[in-house]
Amino acid sequence: MSTTWRTLTGAFVCALAVAFVLIGTALAVTSEATVGARATKQRVAMTMKGLPYGTFVLAPLQTGALKRDVGTSSISYPDPHVLIRDGQKIEIYAAIVTLVGTRGTLVIRERLEVVNAGDALVGTGRWIVVRGTRGYAEIAGGGRTAHVGHDHGKGQWFAREEGYLVVP
């Protein structure tokens, strides 16, 4: 085999490799752009009262595919992890919230830090979608949450979650 043939063969192999890389990159970008074009991010608020078993309202905070929904809410959680931070007792909960509405069921995981504020227990944290059914199937997203429980947590509980849901 001549040196010229080896050089041409090597150049051809390199060009072929570059072409495959460029085609692969173009396909990946096109696939991602197609998925991104279909999925929309919508800001929502979910307000609950009467926890651990109560009612909820899901309200869009901007226009989009998701519409207002109402239904029942429930929350379940194991015993909290308790710690003292800067002298204040904090109870950290890993909770599962289930919202059963007219448009489907939405299951959410929360991480909530609760402190005693005198007559009430208050907590803030983060939430993320675990799964959904019907109108909430394949939805993803998450955000922040705030809770308050009156009468040292033995009375009425309220919660509000705000964040973004991504609709495919």
Q: What is the pLDDT of residues 72-97, one digit of tens each?
A: 999 999 999 999 999 999 999 999 99
| Sequence-ordered list of residues with C-beta below 8 angstroms from that of 51, at least 6 positions apart, any chain | 73, 74, 75, 147, 149, 157, 158, 159
Q: Is the peptide bond before 80 cis (omega within 30 degrees of 0)?
A: no
DSSP state of 79: P
pLDDT interval class at 143 (50, 70, 90): very high
CA distance 145 to 70: 18
pLDDT band, very low/low/confident/very high, at 128 (cuts 50, 70, 90): very high
Instruction: Determine the pLDDT at residue 8.
Output: 43
Looking from the CA of 68 toward its CB, the CA atoms found within 13 Å total 4
For the question of whether the overall pTM of this predicted structure is more than 0.85, the answer is no
* pLDDT at residue 17, rounded to an integer: 47
Domain ranges of the chain: 1-38, 39-167
The residue behind tokens 């460029």 is 22
The mean pLDDT of the chain is 85
For residue 5, what pLDDT is reported?
A: 45
Residue carrying structure tokens 């173009």: 26
Percent of the chain with pLDDT over 90: 71
CATH of 39-167, one of 2.70.150, 2.40.350, 2.30.29, 2.60.120: 2.40.350
